[in-house]
Structure formats: C-alpha cells, structure tokens
Amino acid sequence: MSLLVLEDGAPRCLDCADLGHLVFLPRGDTALTRRSREESTLSAVVVRFNRRKGRYERQGVLVEEAGLARAEARCLADAEARRRRRQRDARRRAAEDARFTQAFAAEIRRLFPGCPADRAAATAAHASVRGSGRVGRSAAGRALSEAAVTSAVAASVRHLDTPYDHLLMSGVPRNEARRRIAAGVEAVLRGWREPEAEAG
C-alpha cells in the first residue's frame, strides 16, 4: 500500500513526514490496535477517501514496530480471557435481541390485533435485526414508537401482500410503485386494526 501524508494541503511520503519507521497495522483487531497505539510513542491513523460514499474511511494505523510487538504479546497473554468475554457479550446481546423482538411483536399485536401472531413475530424479527439499519433498530424503533412499528408492518405488507416487488423488477420507479400499491397496503392495515379480522 502506497501511503502519503498531507501537510498544508501537499502530499508527502512517509519518510519526508518522519513516519517512515512506522509499520502499518490494518483495521480489524480492536484490542491489538488500541494496545499498539498505547505501546507506541508515535502513531498515525490511515484513511482512504471513498469516492462513492463521499467520505474518508479508516484503513488502519501506523505504529512503531517495537510497540506492535509488545501489543501482540499482551494480546496473546490474555487471548483466552478476551475470547470468553466475547462469548459472554454475544450471549448477552442475543438475549437482549430476543427480548426486544418479542416486545416488538407484542406491540405489533397491540396496534394491529388482527395481524396473525406468526406474521407479527416474523415482521418483528425482520425489522429488529441488529446492525441491519432497519426501522426496528432506529431510535424510534427501539423505543417502540407507534410510527416505527406501523412502518415495519407496512413494509411487510408492501413486500408480501402486494405486487410491489414485481413492479420494481419490471422497471417501475420506486415512488410510482409505492403509489400504485398504497391503497392495498392501507386496506390490509385497516383490516388488521380490527380484532375480528384475524383468521379463525
């Protein structure tokens, strides 16, 4: 990887910027990165401009080779403890996610008592996947706001109960496709707001 340092808007090589003695540590291992910077007197963050996203993205760090070696030794010494902690954290997050998904499904059933229980559970599970960026993981979703829950249910209806996806695949613009199926979505939601609409 060819690295340059911007000084006063002008690019300089690492040697010219007095950073040539540092080694590159790619991103990915948080503990090793943190400890390498702690063990290094001098360090620098390496970024790359992503033209598609229009922003700089972190690629790793430059650290002293001796500092990296000390950091690696520290990580090896407590690798098992960190592995157990990661497992505990994963179990805790899984339990939290399960409780949240159940609460989301319960709120769907409260707002839309005519929505079948299995459909409410599936909608909640889809909307609340951690890291998905879906409405269930938004601040409003985590707060179980009526707008967020309704948005998740409407999205489920849009994709499963209308020809929306077929319209998109046939080249219909998204806004036009949504306009065409809006009445159908609202009809399903209106029916689910009534308890007697649940299939018996």
Give me the sign of the Cα torsion angle 89, 121, 137, 147. Answer: negative
Cβ neighbours of 61 (radius 10 Å): 22
| pLDDT number for residue 198 | 42
Average pLDDT for 28-52: 92
pLDDT band for 67, please (50, 70, 90 cuts): very high
The highest-confidence range among 11-15, 48-52, 150-154, by mean pLDDT, is: 150-154
User: pLDDT tens for residues 98-154?
Assistant: 999 999 999 999 999 999 999 999 999 999 888 777 887 888 888 899 999 999 999
Q: How far is CA 20 from CA 2, 27, 46, in A?
A: 12, 19, 13
Average pLDDT for 176-192: 95
pLDDT band for 200, please (50, 70, 90 cuts): very low
**pTM for the model:** 0.61
Please determine, for residue 84, whether its predicted confidence score (pLDDT) is greater than 80: yes
Pick the more confident residue, 156 or 138: 156
| pLDDT number for residue 1 | 59
Average pLDDT for 160-185: 95
Least confident of 52-56, 105-109, 165-169: 52-56
8 Å CB contact between 35 and 71: yes
Least confident of 4-8, 41-45, 47-51: 4-8
- Alpha carbons 46 and 183: distance in angstroms, whole number: 51
Element of type H or E holding 46: strand 44-50
